[in-house]
Amino acid sequence: MLDFFSQAALLSLLLLALAYVRLARAISYSGGVPRVGSPGVLGYIQTALKWTIHAEDVIKEGRQQFFGKPFVIPTLFNEMIAVNEDLQLPYTMDEHQLRNPYQARVLRTDVNRAIPSYIPEILDESVLAMNEAFKHSGQEASGVPVFDTMTFLIARISNRVILGKELCRNENFLNAIVRFAETTPLMAPFIQWSPLLLRPLVYFVLSNILGGKKQPLTYIVPYLKRRIKEGQIITEKSGLVSEYLIQNAPADESIEGIAVRLLNINFGSIHTSSIFITQTLFEIALLPAEDIESMRTEVKEALDSEGGWTKGALDKFHKIDSALREIGRYYGLMYFALPRYTMVDCDLGDGLYVPLGHRVAIDMTAIHFDPNIYPDPYRCDVFRFSKLREQNGDDSAKYGFATVDSSYLPFGAGRHACAGRFFAAMELKIMLAHILLEYDISYPPCVNQRPSNATFNGAIIPDTKARIIFKPRGHQDHQS
């Protein structure tokens, strides 16, 4: 097998070789929609590179230059006018994810119906995992690295009900599944930038350097085989997500195929939820003490009124729910929403059209920062939506974190909206409520402002080095 440096050199040569092919195709676009950036080959390259690390600036430039009309954004992969291609599923997971994505149906039906039964399991694992993760945080002035800590917590807590206690507490498995979740979105753009013929080779090289699906599958596949052989799936009826996936698998599905679908679910859970909870903690740590206490009071009152940790109690965590939704509005996950590929030539009117095979997306910031929809949009107000509930006397899910509409797009929209968002909302509410009840959170003494985000290829990533101190508050009365 090639060593690391040989693999890196090979990858560099491949990328250089494919650059001309990609660039020639990209610049040949002739749909009539104006392109942001300077004209010519050099202008295209400069703007594409700028998009990769400063996507927000490119979108703002296009919005100002073309006054709200459609415009083309050059990227290193292809033009995008403002999800297979985004994650390169045939390589990072497998092609069966596309032909019959029944895991999404399972999430929308069986898993969503099982959410009330998951609450005690998620709470139990949250308590155990956080006790271990924050054991020494209160005594250390530097605190813990928030993003990395939350990523491992999400992986462990989610897998309590995805694969069960055996794997969710297996440190080697957690390391493997977290590495998979973190490196998949990094590998996908390089695969995208490659010609179809070279994509398998590019994935092979990258997965050997960064880590791919192979390592976590060495834990999941034997686990599934053993459970099926022992008849546990049929007899125990534990309600695990993996159990529902097996029960709904078509007759021709292999155990390996089910395992890869569980990787898909893990990726969605770990990648998305770790970003949301990290960004939310960054904001909560800046709040005045009285605002944090108001969140605690609301949680305690909800638990008292509903007799403990139930779905009814979680539904009353309005301020936590509002904080999560505001994070989705203000920061989100990407600078664009609802990416689609044109299946035919699309006439936009005024002599403009989008040719077959081009990607179209919505400028999400233009919607999420529209003052006609969100007053004072450039202020991150974690209580924005809980205030709206109070003002309008509306206790419905209209202002909820997991509710999608035409003005709130971090989870997509319509029938393609994220199938796991209700599970994520349940898990994040429990985790944040437990943190608020059990810990005082603050930045280290030397930090006096919120950590900055990074961007990569249009994705928004919280500061992975930032730290927060979690200081235990002593025994509380709302653990069960």
CB count, 10 Å around CB of 323? 30
**Distance from C-alpha of 369 to C-alpha of 375, rounded to nearest angstrom:** 9
**Distance from C-alpha of 356 to C-alpha of 61, rounded to nearest angstrom:** 26
CA atoms within 13 Å, Cβ hemisphere of 272: 25
Longest CA–CA span in the chain (Å) reads 68
**Distance from C-alpha of 467 to C-alpha of 198, rounded to nearest angstrom:** 40
Residue positions counted in the chain: 480
Eight-state DSSP code of residue 405: B
Q: And the tokens for 15?
A: 């990328």
CB count, 10 Å around CB of 177? 32
Single-letter residue type at 124: D
In degrees, to the nearest 5, what angle opens at C-alpha 26 toward C-alphas 337 and 36?
60
In degrees, to the nearest 5, what angle opens at C-alpha 422 toward C-alphas 419 and 427?
125
Q: 115 near 423, Cβ under 8 Å? A: yes
With 0-12 / 13-18 / 19 or more C-beta atoms within 10 angstroms meaning exposed / middle / buried, residue 392 is: exposed
**Distance from C-alpha of 55 to C-alpha of 406, rounded to nearest angstrom:** 22
**Distance from C-alpha of 437 to C-alpha of 127, rounded to nearest angstrom:** 11
Of 185, 201, 177, 202, nearest in space to 86 by CA: 185
Binding-site annotation, residues for heme: 418
Q: And the tokens for 190?
A: 């390089």
**Distance from C-alpha of 55 to C-alpha of 363, rounded to nearest angstrom:** 11
**Distance from C-alpha of 74 to C-alpha of 58, rounded to nearest angstrom:** 9
Q: 384 near 324, Cβ under 8 Å? A: no
Single-letter residue type at 436: L
Binding-site annotation, residues: 418
Q: 368 near 377, Cβ under 8 Å? A: yes
With 0-12 / 13-18 / 19 or more C-beta atoms within 10 angstroms meaning exposed / middle / buried, residue 221 is: middle
- Sequence-ordered strand ranges (E) for 367-433: none
What angle do the packed helices 241-248 and 255-284 form, to 10 degrees? Answer: 140
